[in-house]
Structure 1
């Protein structure tokens, strides 16, 4: 599938400001299964930081006798909290945090180092901790004595991992840590998956500078959707074009150089030829095997930071879901067999398996779980995609707001995925997510404030369920030509949601009538666990009482404040203020002057019909269409509300509303009543009459 992405800047800190704090320690020995033999050293570094969040790395060097089983304790001096960790399990009691080894890095030989990392949250300051204790021994960097000879390690040092985790960010056998370290992720959408080549769908050639920018914005992984069908030879070898394969490898290399994890797949091959598997089993399987055999051989030398995904959005023609489940199982099982048998790092590489359609309905999750049970492979992950509640995602059927339907769809989906996989120890990658019709080329389909609420909620609900998310960006979020976010505020909300919550409100718009006296206006605050701090216009704080009041969760702007903010009351946005909360990004509120929209008569054809509309500062939210008997008219005849942009579209510059040919393609001859809903709450009624290809319209 193809849809959307993310943006913002991660602040790199210098060794001084970011705090590579080397802490030295010695002391007396105490043991957990073994002892920290009287000496240790800790190097703590804040590798990146952004408003409300940071990433840290901790290296623990054992200066004493070998340790088998360890815990590291420290106290944050500024109230920071760990939100996500890898290569260790971190728990907190107040400001004190404890990191306990993973199964693969329990042993620390004398003078050996083990490392782990985490994402954290902060407010105010992010002061580095100044003391650590390993198995009860203060780490001062000195050896203060030897361990007691009466206490011996419970596990022989010979059980140490063959590869030190300190030199590998993804130790074999721990897919959960690998996937956690990939959060958050970004899709290089509509690029290597474009048909027939990289720039065919409007994006420029990928550069290392782009990947460096993506990493600088806080992303830790990149998904490379790749369509192979136009880049290989005929049967039976299906030899992949060397130039294309080298280009894919070049982008993988660049990504790794920029410290990104990489997920590579077969992408639009899913609907180009894999979907014919039910009726062409031998040929599809032969082609599938040939591609994955070549890819496995070519990529097997890459580190565990490169992951493989069997198929994007698998689907099969002319079969039911129940018939499709065993077909997908066959392909997924064969994918794992091919990769594992190719050897090298593929023996333990994390492999990612999708559900049917990458959908998260329970039967599809159950079917993939059966595949996991059959394979019994410890280095697997699951993937699903999430584009939200469909009426909201495309603005149809009245789905204009982030309401309880959208929220329940979100939490229900993530709950099912967590219960099906995460709670069983299988990591989950939400390999694509966004809203289907949020696009800089289709402004207004989803109202900006409602979209921001969705982004905030997705980040939070994924985070508390330990789901790694990879936003779909086909160019609608990050402008790859300028390396600038198309909407900075959207990126700010993306970024904040990775580590904390942000407050929102019932709307980001306050409409004040241009032709009548201004009265006070109220909004409901959605605190989301934050505390309201006040209102600002730029650097000026508004006065509580004179400019606004807060009663419970109701924020009321006074008539006096709105009159001042509206200024000369020209149509449109007169001022922008922001509500600030204890955490997260501020909530911007536009003060808009408007009058009720007006419309005029028109004539045209089913292929070209526009309604003259004076918007007068207002914005279109949705449109209904009904026949004389009240039944829905036009496409999607199960609802009176039509699909924004697909069936109708406002043109604010031309002062018109366009009725699309796709709308008339399913409208009967005769009279149709249109009701236009605007974001101010205003509505207009307009009547059209179709006779063959001729259309006339008016307000009566």
Structure 2
């Protein structure tokens, strides 16, 4: 019989506790180490009760090793709620109560105690909670290692947040062939220290697999994967191991070569399952990555996805050892969370009647925004609603019915450390902030896709510490933002007051800082409702000699989260020059940027039709059709754009700039020759 949603929600207390422990033990806060002895006792007393309400006092005693930062959780048996709390922080949600220590009582020595009180509400009955968990461990008076997870919900929550080692063991041609160095234990230690509690280990196996009928995986490949898994587990990182690019290299031929594909798939998983069957529960398996099938779009692909997931499940479960109840992760078709993709997987998982099965989806945002096409340059309402709806569907269809969900990959497609401005940084950070908030609200575990664009694996340092800080703090907290993160000042223009809109995200606005000096409200800025206005005097001072580019960085600070940077920039109208090139190489437009930043490019012919490979929109994709090189002083038209130009028909390019300018430029193709003319 499939466990009911009520039972799943009751067990969710452990999920939340595990997630709290994960955060507390991994760099977000200082806390008890993963292998520390844990134990606790709880003295729960109702000190007064009346119709619909009651007072209670809770004493927490730590029996294990000293801890620095604690969270106590319990489930309400009769639907009670905490309405007012003192001497602790209330992080309760629905029928799962969650209370965290404050600064003065966050540390508990061995044998140390602290207490807090609260007022609660009740109807019908006021039965005391049956059990309490402190930092994830059951408070039953015993001392020992942290307990294992009760079910998939607990284990998946303990994975939050997660990180992908992308473009490495999944790379075709060898581990370093896609630009990343070999995985080292030091890398995993850095990831753990940054607060990540799990890694997704994408592995492409095909190039290391022998022919039919045995499809033997090369021992050196298996042992290299095992080495990385060993390092991760030894450093208290859960690992989700999968078949990765195999999904499009040969698995997608399932409809056309059914028996051979299934034989290979089952053989590979049988070998992987056998190699790792005695590994601890911290290792989980994911069926395959982004399943897709040749010629079977939409609903037509569902039977094949289910067949692979069932075969994976049956092979692993039958392999013995710890695989009998290891966490298994099943993807939706294309790892998509549209309703027609969620429903079949829900039905399948419910039919398995197995508490150690989870679902996985991927999310890179509303596609036009995440690749910067069709004019979606900002994190606007349509982009936000796409995110909110995507995660809400996953919650309502799966999580609410006791099936945990892992967002196995998330980021934005077009972000690159080589050209970060493909997506404006502030708009991208708004997306990152809201995604992690929506994930918390919908109880989803997220795994950042990092192919080297965030963490530099050569230096083991974050490429952009400011972005890294957002990623780190917003796992547990909201951050405030403003309507835009830049104020452009024309170099020769008169400086006046400039206004932005505060997006408080439920926080209190604490003011503005420049170089750790607080700006003065009234003299430097004013706040009216949600309108933040910089005074002309403050902007004049901050702009200094008004050199092109960033003159000053002002921080808007809020009551929680990462401070929001506002860049004070000086700019003038950019200047583009004539150029000549060919369709066989990128076309460089000499450009004096003059402190401004390119937002997007529009391309049309004289008859009003669109020019470029994205014929359905005049706004071409940033990075695919065009890009920039600020240091070299060029805007670059890529061959993907040039090859689509109509012979002899001039195309008018309109470059849109964040400083507010629009500049036109004409390109004409004659054979393989391209000429560009500035307007």
Gaps of at least 5 residues in structure 2 are 1-24, 48-58, 119-129, 131-137
In structure 2, relative to structure 1, the CA distance for the partners of 1:512 and 1:335 (3 Å cut) is same
Distance 2:341 2:46 in 1: 52
In structure 2, relative to structure 1, the CA distance for the partners of 1:165 and 1:435 (3 Å cut) is farther
Give the corresponding residue for 1:314.
Answer: 291
| 1:441 Cα deviation after fit | 1.8
Distance 1:444 1:27 in 2: 55
| 1:46 Cα deviation after fit | 8.2
In structure 2, relative to structure 1, the CA distance for the partners of 1:626 and 1:28 (3 Å cut) is closer
Question: Is residue 646 of structure 2 the alignment partner of residue 668 of structure 1?
Answer: yes
Distance 1:384 1:314 in 2: 11
Question: Is residue 608 of structure 2 the alignment partner of residue 630 of structure 1?
Answer: yes
Distance 1:28 1:621 in 2: 60
Give the corresponding residue for 1:678.
Answer: 657
Contact 2:38-2:146 at 8 Å conserved across structures = no
Given candidates 167, 174, 177, the residue that maps to 2:154 is 177
Give the corresponding residue for 2:678.
Answer: 699
Contact 2:343-2:397 at 8 Å conserved across structures = yes
Question: Is residue 402 of structure 2 the alignment partner of residue 393 of structure 1?
Answer: no
Question: Is residue 254 of structure 2 the alignment partner of residue 290 of structure 1?
Answer: no
Deviations 1:638-659 (A, max 9, x none): 1000111211111212222111
SS of 1:246 mapped into structure 2: helix
SS of 1:444 mapped into structure 2: helix
Given candidates 283, 304, 308, the residue that maps to 2:281 is 304
Given candidates 264, 268, 271, the residue that maps to 2:241 is 264
Q: Which deviates more from structure 2 when the two are superposed, residues 660-669 or residues 19-28?
A: 19-28
Distance 1:668 1:257 in 2: 59
Question: Is residue 171 of structure 2 the alignment partner of residue 194 of structure 1?
Answer: yes
Contact 1:353-1:382 at 8 Å conserved across structures = yes
Deviations 1:186-241 (A, max 9, x none): 00111111112211111111111111110110001111011110112211111111
Given candidates 557, 560, 585, the residue that maps to 1:583 is 560
Question: Is residue 219 of structure 2 the alignment partner of residue 242 of structure 1?
Answer: yes
Give the corresponding residue for 2:547.
Answer: 570
Give the corresponding residue for 1:91.
Answer: 97
Distance 1:322 1:629 in 2: 39
Give the corresponding residue for 1:610.
Answer: 588
Distance 1:598 1:624 in 2: 17
Deviations 1:479-519 (A, max 9, x none): 11111101111111111211111000111110011012111
| 1:373 Cα deviation after fit | 3.1
Contact 1:687-1:697 at 8 Å conserved across structures = yes
| 1:170 Cα deviation after fit | 2.9
Distance 1:23 1:275 in 2: 51
| 1:242 Cα deviation after fit | 1.1
SS of 1:653 mapped into structure 2: coil
In structure 2, relative to structure 1, the CA distance for the partners of 1:125 and 1:688 (3 Å cut) is farther
Contact 1:47-1:57 at 8 Å conserved across structures = no
Deviations 1:63-104 (A, max 9, x none): xxxxx99x9x9x98654344799xxx8415xxxx4xxxxxxx
Question: Is residue 59 of structure 2 the alignment partner of residue 42 of structure 1?
Answer: no
Give the corresponding residue for 2:27.
Answer: 10
Given candidates 567, 575, 578, the residue that maps to 1:598 is 575
Given candidates 428, 432, 451, the residue that maps to 1:474 is 451
In structure 2, relative to structure 1, the CA distance for the partners of 1:563 and 1:292 (3 Å cut) is same
Given candidates 411, 418, 432, the residue that maps to 2:388 is 411
In structure 2, relative to structure 1, the CA distance for the partners of 1:14 and 1:411 (3 Å cut) is closer
In structure 2, relative to structure 1, the CA distance for the partners of 1:586 and 1:245 (3 Å cut) is same
RMSD: 3.3
Give the corresponding residue for 1:34.
Answer: none
Distance 2:391 2:27 in 1: 27
Distance 1:534 1:499 in 2: 22
Q: Note the 1:363-442 alignment, pairs <5 A.
A: 363-442=340-419
Gaps of at least 5 residues in structure 1 are 1-7, 31-38, 49-53, 61-67, 98-119, 137-152, 154-159
Given candidates 479, 500, 503, the residue that maps to 1:523 is 500
Contact 1:78-1:127 at 8 Å conserved across structures = no
SS of 1:230 mapped into structure 2: helix
SS of 1:515 mapped into structure 2: coil
Given candidates 497, 511, 520, the residue that maps to 1:534 is 511
Q: Note the 1:130-169 alignment, pairs <5 A.
A: 131=113, 167=145, 169=147
Given candidates 678, 689, 692, the residue that maps to 2:668 is 689
Give the corresponding residue for 2:324.
Answer: 347
In structure 2, relative to structure 1, the CA distance for the partners of 1:215 and 1:15 (3 Å cut) is closer
Distance 1:290 1:482 in 2: 39
**TM-score, normalization by structure 1:** 0.82
Which protein has greater RCO, CA pairs closer than 8 Å, 6+ apart?
1
Deviations 1:310-363 (A, max 9, x none): 011111111232221111111111111111111111111111000111011111
SS of 2:422 mapped into structure 1: coil
SS of 1:423 mapped into structure 2: helix
Distance 1:672 1:46 in 2: 70
Contact 1:266-1:311 at 8 Å conserved across structures = yes
Q: Which deviates more from structure 2 when the two are superposed, residues 279-288 or residues 602-611?
A: 602-611
**TM-score, normalization by structure 2:** 0.84
Give the corresponding residue for 2:13.
Answer: none
Deviations 1:570-597 (A, max 9, x none): 1111111110001111110111011111
In structure 2, relative to structure 1, the CA distance for the partners of 1:639 and 1:28 (3 Å cut) is closer
Distance 2:377 2:66 in 1: 41
In structure 2, relative to structure 1, the CA distance for the partners of 1:15 and 1:257 (3 Å cut) is closer
